[in-house]
Amino acid sequence: MRLNRSLLLVGILAASAAGAQQTNRRFVITPYAGAFVPATRLAEFTEGVTSTLSIKQRSALALGANASYWFNDLAGFEIGGAWAFSDATGSPGLSGEIPTFPLTGPHSAYVAFGSAKLMVNLLKVTERSALRLGVGPAIITRGGNAFKHRDQTVFEGLTDVGGVVSLCSRIPMTDFLSLRLRAENYMYPAKMKFANPDNVLGEYQFKSRLQNDLIFSAGLQMVFWR
């Protein structure tokens, strides 16, 4: 009799654990829209010449999506991508001017982001809402007419590797649908340079600059399996 009771108890505990695993483990997809806000200039050169050149991206609309797999209520893995419709603006020098400098005003451009993050829940698992921290590597690339002159590539080093930190909150709407609010910072060294050092622009070379590209977004979080 005791043996039967013990076996029954073990069976109940195993079933409960299996059920908990099915509840905790889930696959989530989140499309989102937000604002891309570059906090630093993309490139700048001021030493050794009378002219100061600078390039910066403009704040713009950002669209993206994330896919995450949660191992339990505390930790998960996420991959994602975003596209910012961010024009680029260049300024010729303060005391001189370079006629062939391609960016003498705003021109169409874009910034694309890709990332992989480890996500950690900062709140108790009993809380219905969530506050999550994400950290991981990222790749950032940019392009568009702003970085060309007469259909010729003017700049090199438009793709960089860095890291991303994100903080997001989830507001449940149903068991499988939530509103997700997120702020993230892409940090990386921008290493732009002119593609042809033999032209008049060759003497102007930009230094590597640490970038802080911010994205503030709101998305619809959909749970497909739990």
pLDDT (average), residues 184-200: 78
How much is the pLDDT for 82? 98
* pLDDT for the residue 95: 38
Domain contains 20: no
- In a domain, residue 51? The reply is yes
User: Tell me, what CATH number does 197's domain have?
Assistant: 2.40.160.20
11 domain residue, yes or no: no
Tens of pLDDT, residue by residue over 69-114, are 998 888 999 999 999 999 888 775 533 445 555 666 677 899 999 9
Is 16 or 211 the better-scoring residue by pLDDT?
211
Backbone angles phi, psi at 8, to 5 degrees: -65, -40
Provide long-range contacts, Cβ within 8 A and 24+ apart, for 170-179: 170/129, 170/130, 170/132, 170/221, 171/129, 172/128, 172/129, 175/223, 176/222, 176/223, 176/224, 176/226, 177/220, 177/221, 177/222, 177/223, 178/220, 178/221, 178/223, 179/218, 179/219, 179/220, 179/221
User: Averaging pLDDT over each range in 90-104, 114-128, 145-159, 207-221, which range is the top one?
Assistant: 207-221
Assigned domain for 21 exists = no
Domain extent, residue 202, equals 26-225
59, part of any domain: yes
Which residues make Cβ contacts (< 8 Å) with residue 12, sequence separation at least 6?
none
Mean pLDDT throughout 121-131? 76
Q: How confident is the model at residue 42 (pLDDT cuts 50, 70, 90)?
A: confident
Over residues 184-195, mean pLDDT: 87
Question: 50: buried, middle or exposed (CB in 10 Å: 19+, 13-18, 0-12)?
Answer: exposed
pLDDT the model gives residue 56: 84
Per-residue confidence (pLDDT) for residue 162, from 0 to 100: 96
pTM over 0.85: no
Whole-angstrom CA distances from 22 to 103, 129, 158, 162 are 55, 20, 43, 35
| Residue 101 is assigned to a structural domain of this protein | yes
Q: Which residues, 6 or more positions from 194, have their beta carbon under 8 angstroms from its beta carbon?
A: 154, 155, 156, 201, 202, 204, 205
- Whether 69 maps to a domain, the answer reads yes
94 located within any domain: yes
Q: What's the number of domains the chain is made of?
A: 1
Give residue 190's pLDDT. Answer: 87
